[in-house]
Structure 1
């Protein structure tokens, strides 16, 4: 039998052995070495190991002239070869005779190997993807090459971070010559601070937070940029079960019950200039409840909402999924309203960054946007892809919950926790043929009007000028061309919200001043 051959490891400490993470490999039925190493600060150590896969020296079939770091398809063998204490490469070897046995005619392992290759190839073909070593993506070389190839993107554990995560997990980022490094953050304040100080390149961000920073509210004035929308819809307002016991089922009954409760209710949102604050305020005001005079409002990070309601710190909250669904499953609250019932197909999270980053790294900004556009299209393309996405982002390293908590509302299937089960005509959308991703100027201006309505802005800004400065439609259009994303006919759109008030961006100052309930 042939002698053992060593797996070659890169000598450049910035080079990874594997071009896909273990979790991506699992997604595509691709078996990677569980002991694949990356170099950090001069030391070799295990990297990107899926929680369900042990570091047991998985063997792989070796293809001629294809190193372990570029190997695409293989069969998991039963080896327990370990690295030494320092993780040096001399402890990682695979035996070629095992590989030969695995693919020998008539071998059960050959059948498994062929099925693995077929499934993986079909998956990559369906996605239009290939490892960058096998296929060069558009806009990845020459004068259009990204100026910065590793892009750290912050995210909060919410369902709507999905397109950022899947762009990395599916390897779409490599097609555009970049590597997306998702960075899980604890709060929106942390996202804000890390964007401003450069610890994050971009972020899964609140639309209102980006606009607030531009005009100097919710943080120090910083020139900001919105590269694309990440989703529409998919948020909600949860009320405590104790309110339901008092006859509350919606906003109208909440208003009625408040007269007899004998105490002031407390509501939570996720950040003072957030989308969630604006949805909460809009919904309360539409039922003649003043969000600053009639109730108390506090700020709580999204993953902490359920725990805080459980111990009685608030009577209601507005947050993104899956934390409304979680409250229903845990039987501590019910969904009083979804945000798509407040505004059908409303803007929500964006890919945000600083103007400094967008101007210094325009090719990188375009590449990141294109990769996430392609991931968003993949997610929206089928219920099966949505379900697969839910399973991936449910992981501890991302949203950290059960996939079943995420899947239902991603698919638009809602159980509000008090007997109403329905399919939403406007579920969370990540792509929507480009409608969910285009950075409409009118969307950005709307958040400014609400910040003025609630006294966060003391005077009217130049709404259109601010929107044109922040929403980098130039970068988006280049990314749309690279990813094959259609463009809308107009940079503005019109909508009518739950109170019947139309919005089209034509007169934002009059719109902001036209509400009966305001500060």
Structure 2
């Protein structure tokens, strides 16, 4: 059997499995589905890694609220210490899947975030909800935004200011680099950057290991509450409704467990829809994920920004129009190929990859739209877009739509 034939058959099988779960029979696949005998998940327990961040919520709530049982599996969330640990456990097979950084999965596919492995993104877990925090020492020196930060950086020897992000190919590295570069700061020559696990960000800022960081919530709000730093920018101010964490795994795992992949995606998708359905559900989610097994912080540190109620530590408060979202009628959850391609353009921009990749082909290989569509059918009532490309405008006015990725990657004045 040729590779092409195998791929088509597997994808037909996934679609057929979801159709059966929804009480439907799709033309052209009935014989294969019945030949397989069952669309039941191959695994009954699925171990899913997570980092203690607000955006782990869909994975946690899928297990806590029983959405996993609805699709024939038991999700076993596994709290991890760092993104490097998540990477290593995904690659070793200790984790079946994970709440994971978009850029980590793409970095592994290209061999720039660890050993090259073929990876898979089953769905996007959230949009928005990260932040760039600066220390109160900078605030005391009159630094309140990226423009005044640029002046402070220029007044010191190159590389004397240190900033932290969470992983070399992380979303947080990309937001930080983009934000700094928007004001003319080269993040590779003008400042020093280091990797710090999210739960350790606030303490490292407190003891002076860095003057700024980009990290997920609730750690930016925690910096304000602990009187250590302030929010200089939200990630959604860099890119409104940007992709953030994904439900990631190895391609090999999906191939070996196609029904389990569909069931896992359906359970987490169903949970994401439930969270976004009301503020009451979000508040319930906060009360759960604040507990020791999950994030281990006070609920009030999480709740405000979960509901879009922001303060920046400089006296400003606002209701953010692009706060953290988990579903938004499926627009959040769908694994847009253009989202993955954007990270590839930034890897190229910053010299993490030296030659232009086949942007769309890589995105289509990683982003398992076939699994997502089958899961969406199983869940029911989930909108699926006609195209895998979407249009976005970032903070500098640049428009990204995935149509000419190499020209986009080369269009920046500051790059490596």
Q: Which residue of 2 aligns with 1:351?
A: 247
Query: 2:130·2:235 contact (CA, 8 Å) conserved in 1?
Result: yes
Corresponding residue for residue 89 of structure 1: none
Give the one of 121, 128, 136 matched to 1:241.
Answer: 136
- Once residues 379 and 182 of structure 2 are traced to their aligned partners in structure 1, the CA distance between those partners, rounded to angstroms, is 40
- Contact persistence 1:138–1:175 (CA under 8 A): no
Residue 397 of structure 2: aligned partner: 500
Aligned residues: 383
Question: Partners in 2 of 1:201 and 1:395 — Cα distance?
Answer: 24
Counterpart mapping for 1:156-167 below 5 A: 156-167=51-62
- Shift, 1:489, TM fit: 2.6
Asked whether the equivalents of residues 159 and 322 of structure 1 are also in contact (C-alpha less than 8 Å), the reply is: yes
Match of 2:284 in 1: 388
Residue-by-residue CA offset, 1:381-413 (whole Å, 9 max, x unaligned): 000110110110011110111111000000011
Partner secondary structure for residue 222 of structure 1:
coil
In the alignment, which residue of structure 1 is the partner of 2:4? none
Match of 1:466 among 349, 358, 362: 362
Is 1:318 the counterpart of 2:214 in the alignment?
A: yes
- Tell me if the contact between 2:83 and 2:166 (Cα under 8 Å) persists in the aligned partners: yes
Q: Which residue of 1 aligns with 2:30?
A: none
- Partner of 1:204, secondary structure, is strand
1:71-470 alignment runs, 5 A limit: 143-261=38-156, 264-470=160-366
Q: Is the 8 A contact 2:128 2:325 kept in 1?
A: yes
Find the structure with the greater CA-based Rg: 1
Return 5+ residue gaps in structure 1 as ranges: 1-136
Residues 322-381 of structure 1: CA deviation (Å, up to 9, x unaligned): 000000000100000000000000000000000000110010000000001110011000
Judging by fraction of residues, say which structure has more helix.
2
1:126-175: CA deviation from partner (whole Å, max 9, x where unpaired): xxxxxxxxxxx869x96110011100000000000000000000011000
Distance 1:492 1:422 in 2: 31
Shift of residue 256, structure 1, vs aligned partner: 1.6
Match of 1:103 in 2: none
CA–CA separation in structure 2 for the residues paired with 1:487 and 1:311: 47
Q: Which residue of 2 aligns with 1:84?
A: none
Preserved CA contact (<8 Å) 2:126 2:332? yes
What is the match of residue 3 of structure 1? none
Please report how far the alpha carbon of residue 300 of structure 1 lies from its aligned counterpart in structure 2 after TM superposition: 0.2
TM norm structure 2: 0.90
Q: Gapped runs of 5+ residues in structure 2?
A: 1-20, 24-35
* Cα distance in 2 for residues equivalent to 1:422 and 1:331: 19
SS in 2 for 1:432: coil
- Return the offset for 1:473: 0.3
Cα distance in structure 1, aligned partners of 2:403 and 2:230: 37
Computed over aligned residues only, the root mean square deviation of the Cα atoms, in angstroms, reads 1.4
In 2: Cα distance, 1:509 partner to 1:210 partner: 20
User: Aligned equivalents of 1:335 and 1:285: distance in 2?
Assistant: 18
Match of 2:411 in 1: 514
Q: Structure 1 residue 486 and structure 2 residue 346: aligned?
A: no
Name the SS of the counterpart of 1:434 in structure 2: coil
Distance 1:502 1:487 in 2: 23
Deviation for aligned residue 1:515: 0.5
CA distances 1:393-452 after superposition (whole Å, capped 9, x unpaired): 011110111111000000011110011111100110000100000000000000010001
Return the alpha-carbon distance in structure 2 between the equivalents of residues 189 and 425 of structure 1: 32
C-alpha distance after superposition, 1:10-50 (max 9, x if no partner): xxxxxxxxxxxxxxxxxxxxxxxxxxxxxxxxxxxxxxxxx
C-alpha separation in 2, matches of 1:393 and 1:346: 23
CA contact (8 A) 2:153 2:191 kept: no
Contact residue 138 and residue 176 of structure 1 kept, 8 A: no
SS in 1 for 2:329: helix
Aligned partners of 1:414 and 1:424 also within 8 Å = yes
